[in-house]
């Protein structure tokens, strides 16, 4: 906890050396011979397929570190892990499988590891042993029933907030944003963020205005590479793609080492069969964090921690809308027309009713708020 607070303090003295990121108008314009020397380091976890309780396998300690990073193993443990598949790891795997709606086997089966290697958000899924993905919303899960073809479906609200549910204060509802001047971003890149802000502004009574002053704007956006001064270094191609802090911090950082697709306007859809990271999809997600939303376990929501490859996901899901309106109320001009059709709602499996609260009254916890989004890139 203190570590995160220190990181936030460091941000104030941020000294970084941004590197020009690769921006492409569409996936087919990425040069086909642009091969990256290394895939995500997480791909090495695929070698652990089939590991289960009782085994001792070289490298298991690394996946314990992974799980600890995301909260599945208590942060209080030293991090000097053994290669034993012990109860610590088994419990972590089970909790992970529950969060991501995988079969709860407690083993590192193929499906689970395929999920583990997806580049993803750096914010923990689990705080003090309690999953934030399953029941983080202050209103808990609430269900809307309606008739499907022959079955009864439930729309389950799974949005969450950061501990303490921080939000921009009442007197700061017309927010400004600015771009890291050293990035020298093209206008079309900046416009991607403008569009992303509009998507949120449509549903809540907040406004976002672009200004030039990076030092004094409410929200600051920059592309950085590697260690950039906030204790959460970017990791090169794939892996972690971006992160943002909760209100009222306003920092949004993206990884310069990704190839970003600066696609045109349009809604959700498949971009290409090639690996592609859609900048607007990431921007919309990270702005959700800037506004105070945590991750949602609704797979189609913007605030879900991962995004399937080559996919553009920019339309707010009703889960996102409900969550952000809980914090700020509704934009008087919003008439709900963006609410997706019932067919995209998930079925309620009812597995998660037992999860407890994640809220603490301590504002120190807001220092935890750094978060990142990962996109799944399939080759």
Residues with a catalytic annotation lie at 286
User: Which burial class, exposed, middle or buried, applies to 318 when counting CB atoms under 10 A from its CB (0-12, 13-18, 19+)?
Assistant: buried
Among 108, 121, 203, 316, binds Zn ion (CB under 5 A): 121
Distance of closest approach, residue 273 Cβ to ligand NAG, in angstroms:
12
Range in contact with Zn ion (rule: CB under 5 A) among 103-111, 158-166, 250-258, 340-348: 250-258
CA distances from 233 to 177, 224, 236 (A): 23, 9, 9
- State the binding partner of 38 from Zn ion, ligand NAG, none, CB within 5 to 8 A by kind: none
b/e map 217-252, b = 16+ CB within 10 Å: bbbbbbbbbeebbbebebbbbbbbbbbbbbbbbbbb
Under the rule (CB under 6 A), what is the footprint of ligand NAG? 25-26, 28-29, 44, 47, 102-103, 111, 127-128, 163, 171, 173-174, 335, 337, 358, 360, 362, 365
Distance of closest approach, residue 375 Cβ to ligand NAG, in angstroms:
20
218 is in an annotated binding site: yes
CA distances from 29 to 23, 127, 191 (A): 10, 41, 19
CB 67 within 8 A of CB 106: no
267 is in an annotated binding site: no
36 is in an annotated binding site: no
86 is in an annotated binding site: no
Four-CA torsion 126, 129, 133, 136, nearest 10 degrees: -120
Nearer to ligand NAG, 17 or 209 (CB): 209
Binding pattern to Zn ion, positions 252-291, x when CB under 5 A?
-x--------------------------------------
154 is in an annotated binding site: no
CB 219 within 8 A of CB 253: no
Nearer to ligand NAG, 24 or 245 (CB): 24
Q: Is 163 helix (H, G, I), strand (E, B) or coil?
A: coil
SS3 assignment for 308-351: CCCEECCCCCHHHHHHHHHHHCCCCCCCCCCCCCHHHCCCCCCC
- State the binding partner of 371 from Zn ion, ligand NAG, none, CB within 5 to 8 A by kind: Zn ion
- State the binding partner of 309 from ligand NAG, Zn ion, none, CB within 5 to 8 A by kind: none
Distance of closest approach, residue 302 Cβ to ligand NAG, in angstroms:
20
Binding residues for Zn(2+): 121, 228, 230, 243, 253, 285, 289, 295, 303
């Amino acid at each position: 906890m203190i570590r995160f607070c220190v990181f936030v303090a460091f941000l104030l003295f941020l000294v970084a050396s941004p590197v020009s990121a690769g921006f492409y108008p569409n996936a087919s314009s990425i040069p086909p011979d642009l091969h990256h020397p290394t895939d995500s380091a997480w791909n090495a976890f695929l070698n652990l397929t089939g590991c289960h309780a009782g085994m001792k396998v070289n490298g298991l300690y690394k996946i314990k570190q992974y799980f600890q990073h995301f909260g599945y193993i208590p942060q209080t443990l030293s991090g000097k892990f053994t290669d034993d598949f012990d109860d610590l790891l088994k419990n972590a795997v089970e909790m992970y499988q529950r969060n991501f709606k995988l079969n709860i086997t407690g083993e590192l089966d193929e499906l689970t590891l395929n999920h583990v290697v997806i580049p993803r958000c750096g914010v923990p899924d689990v705080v003090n042993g309690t999953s934030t993905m399953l029941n983080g919303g202050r209103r808990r899960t609430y269900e809307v029933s309606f008739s499907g073809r022959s079955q009864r479906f439930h729309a389950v609200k799974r949005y969450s907030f950061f501990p303490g549910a921080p939000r921009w204060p009442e007197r700061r509802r017309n927010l400004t944003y600015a771009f890291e001047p050293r990035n020298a971003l093209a206008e079309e890149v900046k416009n991607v963020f403008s569009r992303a802000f509009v998507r949120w502004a449509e549903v809540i009574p907040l406004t976002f205005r672009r200004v030039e002053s990076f030092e004094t704007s409410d929200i600051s956006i920059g592309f950085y590479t590697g260690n950039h001064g906030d204790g959460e270094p970017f990791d090169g191609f794939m892996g972690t793609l971006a992160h943002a802090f909760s209100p009222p911090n306003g920092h949004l950082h993206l990884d310069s080492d990704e190839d970003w697709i600066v696609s045109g306007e349009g809604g959700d859809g498949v971009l290409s069969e090639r690996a592609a990271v859609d900048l607007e999809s990431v921007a919309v997600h990270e702005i959700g964090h800037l506004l105070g939303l945590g991750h949602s376990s609704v797979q189609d929501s913007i605030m879900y921690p991962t995004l399937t490859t080559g996919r553009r996901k920019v339309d707010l899901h009703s889960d996102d809308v409900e969550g952000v309106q809980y914090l700020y109320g509704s934009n008087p001009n919003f008439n709900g027309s963006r609410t997706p059709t019932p067919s995209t709602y998930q079925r309620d499996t009812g597995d998660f009713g037992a999860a407890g609260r994640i809220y603490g009254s301590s504002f120190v916890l807001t220092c935890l708020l750094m978060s990142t989004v990962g996109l799944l890139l399939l080759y």
